[in-house]
Structure formats: C-alpha cells, structure tokens
Amino acid sequence: MSDPHMHQHTEQRPQLKYTDSQPPSSYWDNLSKIWLTKCALKELNRRNNKPNKHPPLYRQNRRPLTRSILAKWAKGQQSASEILSGYSRNDLIEVKRFARQGGPGTSDLRGYPEPSNPLEHSTMPAANRPSVLKNEDTTNTVKTRNTSPYSRNFEQILKDHGVFPAFYKYSDGRKPEKPKNLDEIRERAKQRRPSLSLSRFTDEEFEKFQETTANAKKEEQATKSIVSIIEGSSGETKYVCGKIKFGNLQSLVGLTSDYTLTPGNPDLYDGALPEQLDRRIRDRLKGMIIPSTQDDLPIAPNFFLHAKGPDGTSAVVRRQCVYDGALGERGQHQLRSYGTNEPEFDNNAHTITSIYEGDKLSMYTIYTARTNGPNGRQEYYTHLIGSWAMDGDIETFRNGAAAFRNLRDWAKEQRDGAIGLANSVTDQVEGERNSGEEGAESSVTSLHALSDGVDSNNSQMPSPTKRPSPVMKRGRASKRTKINR
C-alpha cells in the first residue's frame, strides 16, 4: 500500500468562501436519516413543485376557450354543500368518519401539477402568470456551501461518515470500544495541583468565581472571564489560540464537490509552535495539521474548549466539540504515521476536547481506529472523561479545574511526542524520496540518449516491438524500524 502521507499536495490551497445556503439534492440523497429542519422542508417543497416532464393529456391538446365552453364550465360548478346535499344521512356519517381517519391517500399526487382554472388562464396577462419553477440542481455557484453545527443533520452526517459522539450505540446495540489509555487519562485528570491548594485558592476566590458565573450572560463573557479562572495562569499563551476558523484543514466529510461541513472554530485550542515541526512535514501534511493560512498560529491542535453562555444550545456545542476533536485526532494520527507504508492505529487517545456550558465543565477524549473487514474505514470515537458542576462547591471546582489543567499538560505531551516522532524519521523519508526521484530521472535520461544516438546514425534497423519502460520508484519510506516512543 502506498504511503498516503507522501501524496499530499504541496501547492497552496485556495481559500474557500463558505456560505450557509440550501444543499443540493445529492446532499439529502446521501443522508441515512433526515431531520425535520427548514432546509429539509425547502427541499421537500422543491421536489414536490418540480415540473412534470410528461404533462397530462388534458393539458397537451386543449380545445380553444370559447365563450360557450366557459359558460358550460361555470354552469357545471357546484359548491361542497350542494354536493353533500345529495347524500343520505348514513352516507354523511361515513364521510365524516372517513375524514376523521385522515381522508384519502394523496401520495400518488406528489409531483403532479396543480390544476389550472380556465377562467384565470384566459384572462390573466402573460406577464403576470406564474412561471414554471426552475430546477435548482442546474444552477451553478462558485462558492462552497456547507452545513453548520446548528443543523440537526450535521450530527447525522458525522455518524454516517464514522465520527461518533459519546455514548453512541450501533444499531445492533454494540458500543464502540474504549481507548486503551482511558483509565490512564482519568487518573491523570485526578492529580492534585499546587495552584489549587487551600492556601492558594481560597473561599473568597471561589465566591468571586460564583459571582462571575452568575453575571456571565454571553458566550464571550464565559470564555474570557470564567475560563480564565479555571485554566489559571499557566504563562504558556504562545501555544494557545481561539476563534480561528479551521479553513485550511481538509474536511473530514466531503459531501459533494461544492458542499461540505462548516470549518471547525473552537473558542480555544492548544497547538505547537510551527517551528517545532520540520518544514518538509508541514508542507506535506498542511491540510491535516495547519488550521489557518496564517503561518505563525499554533499547529497540530489536540486540546479544545467550546464555551456556551446560559442561552447557548447544548446540542450545537456538543456537535462542535465532537467535530473539532476529530479534526485534532486526525492530525495526531497523521503525525504518528508519518513515513510508514501503512497508517498505524494504536487504539490510544491523543486528543482532549471539552465543553463549558452554563456552570458545567465536561471533558472528552477522542481516538481513531480502523474497522474490521476488507473495506474497513477509519472512524473516530468520543468518550467522556468526567463532568463537574463548577459553581457547586469549592472542592468540586478544585477537581474540575485540576482536570482541565492536568489534561491540558497531558495533551501537550502527546502533541510533542507525535512531532518528535515525525521529525526523527524526516531525513530518512526525504532521502528515500529524493533517491527515488533521481533514479527515475536517470532512467528517463538514458532512454532519451539511446533514442538520440539511433536517430543521429540514421540506423536502418527495425524498431523494437516494445520499448523497455523506466522503473519508477515511489517516493515513500520503507517500514521504519521500531522507535522508542
């Protein structure tokens, strides 16, 4: 199997303009389950109003509308009360019962054109007549349309493409396996922090935190004031960024050529300094590990926070949490598999993604694995580490804040380890790649020289039936030797 990491495009990816608009038909056709949203209703109306390619016979060869025909048509019209007056009492009881049960089925009328009134047809000016609806599938656009986490279909798209939230169950009742290092992560989260001891974090400071929580009405307030207390003064601000759209990362889900998911945009993320990773690796994996085209921002993020104020939507922030975490874990997996012939799956988690909503802190970890079978795909699984009601009491706050700070340190260790592993094999990978390219160029040059020599001597020898083709070596590294991680 060829090295998937060696085939990353090195040219600069164009900046895509993302707009929230109506998805194309193929978007809905590929969903395993469609939620009742405004966009779904618009699509249903579009399909119901789609013009019939084969109009009914009564519209194809219609007689001219003369005065006598219009008079007969108007005379034959009856009101509902006039029609029902001809029924017996028992018949009317049956009609009412039939109506209470839903009336006649109309599924066979879907897509059938609405009957026209001959009177309106003959008197309405052509300029005022309703035009036939155009098929929206034929419209062209240069912008990339997307589905955002505010749509219920966003979560369904993730599930259909192997990105699963916490507590997910398959249709047969099975649960995804837990990462092998989940217990280790939970133990790390429980470690005490000197900065949260009785002498350094007092009751007065906790009361101040409670007041701040009660007065935070907006998401921005929750991010700046509340989270700053939880994270403490680590002093490592150079690794931290936030409110940056991950527009440079390739989407986990490519729905169509012009339709994808909204780029990730966490309120806070931790990454590595760009200069920590060899530039050659950055060039090859930039679509997997570099969130933005701004070169000086942290790369290879694997610690995320999504904050919501009291009026925030829980479902939305959970979808954001899962998607951004999966993007981060994909980048960590790419770094750890760099230079190998096949991607390596160790079934360990390397990414932390968290939510602060109202007064509750929830922290999750995400890991990736390949499903069994010949057509196995790469999937991402979310697991809860723990949750804390931060304004409940000072001890709960200490536990939650300690978990946040401990797991932030743990994520940095995982990130630095992945970068160190990739850097350690870069020279070997690039050396084999360059030697392969030079060998291919040498073979091609030799063949050209041989051809030129034959032509210059005007040889009358018959042309060979088959010219030997040069041996082209793929620019990839062989399976590397085992490295102590």
Q: Is residue 475 part of a domain?
A: no
Chunked into runs of 10 residues, the chain (485 residues) has average pLDDT values of 42 46 71 78 80 54 60 67 79 84 72 56 46 44 63 87 94 94 97 93 93 79 81 79 90 67 90 96 95 93 88 84 96 94 92 93 96 85 97 95 97 97 91 68 47 43 37 38 39
Q: Is residue 84 part of a domain?
A: no
Q: Could you tell me if 8 and 31 lie in one domain?
A: no
Per-residue pLDDT, 66: 65
| 383/350 Cα distance (integer angstroms) | 12
Q: Could you tell me if 246 and 168 lie in one domain?
A: yes
Q: Could you tell me if 177 and 131 lie in one domain?
A: no
**Residue 345 corresponds to which tokens in the numbers above?**
């799956």
Question: Based on the structure, what is the number of domains in the chain?
Answer: 2
pTM of the model: 0.65
Q: Could you tell me if 251 and 340 lie in one domain?
A: yes
Q: Is residue 481 part of a domain?
A: no
Q: Of 424, 455, 474, which residue sits at a domain end? A: 424
Single-letter code of the amino acid located at 202: T
Q: Is residue 88 part of a domain?
A: no
Ramachandran bin of 197, using left for φ above 0, alpha for ψ from -120 to 50, beta for the remaining angles: beta
Q: Could you tell me if 338 and 364 lie in one domain?
A: yes
Q: Could you tell me if 203 and 115 lie in one domain?
A: no
Asked whether the beta carbons of 348 and 332 are under 8 A apart, the reply is no
Per-residue pLDDT, 411: 97
Q: Could you tell me if 115 and 182 lie in one domain?
A: no
Q: Could you tell me if 12 and 43 lie in one domain?
A: no
| 262/141 Cα distance (integer angstroms) | 17
Q: Could you tell me if 368 and 266 lie in one domain?
A: yes
Q: Could you tell me if 252 and 131 lie in one domain?
A: no
pLDDT tens, 98-148?
888 877 777 666 656 665 555 544 444 444 444 444 444 444 444 556 677
Q: Is residue 323 part of a domain?
A: yes
Containing structural domain, residue 29:
22-48+111-140
Q: Could you tell me if 216 and 175 lie in one domain?
A: yes
Per-residue pLDDT, 54: 57
Q: Could you tell me if 385 and 271 lie in one domain?
A: yes
